[in-house]
A and B are shown apart, each in its own frame.
Chain A
Amino acid sequence: MGVFDNGTVARYWVGGGWYNLTLMGFFVANTLLVGRWFRNIEEFHVTTQLWRLFIIGMGGITIIMVTTFANRSTASLTIYPYLSPVFFCLSLYALVIFFLSSVFIYRRFILYPRTRNKIITWYIFLGFLVFALLQPFVNLGIFILVSFGLFLILSLILSANVRWIAYLNFNQKLRALGLSSLIMLVIITYVLAARTLPERLGIISGETLRIEFVYYIMLFAFCYTGSSILVLFFNLPTTSIFEKQSVEIASFSKINQAIQSNLDFGDIMNTLLDASLMAANAKAGWIELLTDTNGKAEINLKKKIESEDILSIKQQYDITEKVIRDQQFYLVRNLRKHRAFLGNNSKYKSLLSVPIVSTNQAYGAVFVVNELHNSFEDVNIQSVIAFAEQAGMALENARLMKESLETESYRTQMKIASEFQKKLLPRQLPFTDQIEFVSLSETAYEIGGDYFDVVHPAENIYRVAIGDVSGKGTTAAFYMAEVKGIFHALTQLDLDVKQFVQTANDALSACMQRKFFMSLTYLEINVAKKTVEMIRAGHCPTYYYEAATDQLKECREGTIGLAIIRNKSFARQIQETQRIQYQAGDFMVLYTDGITEARNEAGEEFGYERLQSCILRLKQESSTNIAAGIVHSVKAFAQSDPQDDYTVLIIKFG
């Protein structure tokens, strides 16, 4: 029953009367008010918050001073005796508001950044404050002191949470230190003013009033402000190092951005030099880059140093070449005493050079110099190396991007050339009851040197040319375009087959470089007479299938290729043309060497024999199927895309 009997209750519950209860209500109401006020302030700006606290404090002090002076003025109090307690209440209010503000502002500081443990500690702190509010009503005897001691420990623990200081720069720290010191003075002023507080409260109320709550928040504000002042003060000297580290990180991130965004070459170099100067604490520095023309290093960028000074330091010694060759930094601790730099009379004594290289390419080197000897430490050197590596990557990236754009542009150009070249070949070949022409062709590159054309200059007459300009790719393609022009002009002249070949040889000899030539097979077909007159000038043998005898004939007779003999003696080489009298159902297979010279993985060529058997196998097929069948067989044999341009032209007679 113990605790519930009247005696026990009387022992613990002392009661503070209505005044104490009113005072508790006053404390609770203001705590809620101030707490709400500061909860709405979301921004976390240390100096602004400290400044705010200081202003509140100063405002309060002003109120206390004014009321104290007014109180002492006996004249006014004689007239208005009731003013004294009013003045006193105002002072108390100012004091409470200031310390509550400090609690809530420091709460924001302590919880920066928020952690679970800190929040728990904060709630315990609040628990103590509630306990302090209840103290006037409970008789705890010695426990009041114990509780105060525990609260002191808790305040000290909370005061250790000053991580916000680490994020301030030197100026901000200095300002925060000044403001915290002023706040400390304000706190001390309040503490002095509060000494007589209970006594005066007693006089006013006529009762013993208890203000443990005020003591508690004063203690906390004192501890946290003191702790902040000490930490700020001892942090000041190391701030510059942290600031430097953070600038280094920013430089790293800038160079990294350069890697991703392909900054301008000059920007990368500028960032690298700035970062290196800062990381090495160097007085001056420059960057040398290898030139494209002679591979020699030249000064690309210099800061706080003149070219003459650089030359004077280096003394003709090509340090860039050395660091690139060694792929390692080069450090001279004292230029005056180093053998390689004898005669150097510059004011600089320490030199550090770090190569700028990527995995594939060397770009140059970054140099930093200092007036003091032995002034570059390992940590400086490592930072400069890291910057140079990052810059190397950025440059590599920029180079790859440029190459990729150039390749893209080249591809586009080649695609245009390819489209254009396709237009040089006949789009639609004659396909009648009397005669059918079917062709299939492909180039090894976007553009090629194969050429064929069928013209129909007169009724019953068809002139066919198939040829191959030596070589592949662009040069061959250019000549192919010229060939097209020449042949079209010649077909208008109504030349016979021999004359055509001879004139074509003259024309091509005049326009082709000496290392180029052209193979050609030229035919004139008369569908009325059912004759073919043909000449083979160095071109692949033509196959002629005679349906009546079921024989495949290889037309090997011929002359030398065009533009090989570049004088009149070519005429002597042209023998009689080959004449064929054809029947319906016969067909001819003309092609370029991309067919017979297609090679498989073993290096074996498709050759003439495979082509012959392929044609014989397809002899009953339509002209379209014969062409497709030959190409299919060649591809199946080679098991790859064409290594050379190829063309197949089937002429089927009706």
Chain B
Amino acid sequence: MEIKENFHSTYITLMPIGELDANSSVILDERIAQLLETGTVNIHIDGSGISYINSPGLGVVISYVDELAAQGGKFVFSDLSDNVADVFSILGLDRLDHLIIVNDPTEVEAHFSTS
């Protein structure tokens, strides 16, 4: 798996390409940990490249939600494919305050500017 990155004034966009499973999610895990160390706590994940996600992949995301929130940050997910969005929804992740799923990518910035 490969992660494309794009820095914005108030957040960073990570775009993982490929499947987020037990093996590949380690790369995302390491990258988020690095960002946290440098104080980057507003993380936008562009899901257009994620073809599949399973529980270890979700575990990585979930494990950072509280930490980001504690430092005043959050996750914003956009462009999720139907099956990935369905996995998020069934697990109830759309209920989390600091994990926002947007359908319209243009809303991403607004979520970070209000934080």
A519 and B91 form a contact (CB under 8 A): yes
B22 and A472 form a contact (CB under 8 A): yes
New contact pairs (20) apart from A471-B22, A565-B96, CB-CB < 8 Å: A468-B55, A470-B56, A470-B59, A471-B56, A471-B59, A514-B62, A515-B29, A515-B59, A517-B55, A517-B59, A517-B91, A519-B90, A537-B92, A538-B91, A540-B90, A559-B95, A561-B92, A564-B92, A603-B51, A605-B83
A560 and B58 form a contact (CB under 8 A): no
How many Å from the CB of B75 to the closest CB on chain A? 13
With A472-B22, A564-B62 already in contact, the answer to whether A538 and B90 are too (CB < 8 A) is yes
Indicate if B1 sits at the interface (CB-CB under 8 A). Answer: no
In Å, the complex CA distance between A573 and B92 comes to 9
With A517-B62, A540-B90 already in contact, the answer to whether A470 and B55 are too (CB < 8 A) is yes
Of all chain B residues, which has the CB nearest A512?
A: B59
B93 neighbours in A (Cβ, 8 Å): 560, 564
A472 neighbours in B (Cβ, 8 Å): 22
A residues 569-596 touching B (CB-CB < 8 Å): 573, 593
A597 neighbours in B (Cβ, 8 Å): 54
Q: Determine which of A515, A541, A556 lies in contact with B63 in the assembled complex, contact meaning CB atoms within 8 Å.
A: A515
Where chain B touches its partner, the secondary structure class is: helix
Indicate if A566 sits at the interface (CB-CB under 8 A). Answer: yes
A-B residue pairs, 9 tightest by C-beta:
A560-B92, A470-B55, A515-B59, A538-B91, A514-B63, A515-B63, A561-B91, A538-B92, A560-B95
Indicate if B79 sits at the interface (CB-CB under 8 A). Answer: no
6 contacts between A and B (CB under 8 A): A472-B22, A515-B60, A515-B63, A517-B62, A564-B91, A593-B55
Interface mask (B48-76 → A, CB under 8 Å = 1, otherwise 0): 00011011101110110110000000000
Indicate if A136 sits at the interface (CB-CB under 8 A). Answer: no
In Å, the complex CA distance between A558 and B89 comes to 10
How many Å from the CB of B86 to the closest CB on chain A? 8
Indicate if A148 sits at the interface (CB-CB under 8 A). Answer: no
Interface mask (A202-231 → B, CB under 8 Å = 1, otherwise 0): 000000000000000000000000000000
How big is the B interface, by class? 20 to 34
Indicate if A516 sits at the interface (CB-CB under 8 A). Answer: yes
B29 neighbours in A (Cβ, 8 Å): 515
Of all chain B residues, which has the CB nearest A541?
A: B90
With A538-B90, A541-B90 already in contact, the answer to whether A515 and B62 are too (CB < 8 A) is yes
How many Å from the CB of B30 to the closest CB on chain A? 13
In Å, the complex CA distance between A515 and B33 comes to 13
Of all chain B residues, which has the CB nearest A561?
A: B91
Q: How many A-B residue pairs have CB under 8 A?
A: 61
How many Å from the CB of A339 to the closest CB on chain B? 45
B22 neighbours in A (Cβ, 8 Å): 471-472
B residues 9-43 touching A (CB-CB < 8 Å): 22, 29
Q: Which among B54, B90, B96 has the highest number of chain A CB atoms within 10 Å?
A: B90
B91 and A516 form a contact (CB under 8 A): no
B90 and A517 form a contact (CB under 8 A): no
In Å, the complex CA distance between A559 and B29 comes to 26
A470 and B58 form a contact (CB under 8 A): yes
Interface mask (B85-107 → A, CB under 8 Å = 1, otherwise 0): 00000111101100000000000
How many Å from the CB of B89 to the closest CB on chain A? 9
Of all chain B residues, which has the CB nearest A597?
A: B54
With A471-B56, A597-B54 already in contact, the answer to whether A560 and B63 are too (CB < 8 A) is no
B96 neighbours in A (Cβ, 8 Å): 560, 564-565
B92 neighbours in A (Cβ, 8 Å): 537-538, 558-561, 564, 573
A470 neighbours in B (Cβ, 8 Å): 55-56, 58-59
In Å, the complex CA distance between A566 and B62 comes to 11
A556 neighbours in B (Cβ, 8 Å): 90
Of all chain A residues, which has the CB nearest B60?
A: A515
B60 neighbours in A (Cβ, 8 Å): 515
B59 and A516 form a contact (CB under 8 A): yes
A539 neighbours in B (Cβ, 8 Å): 90
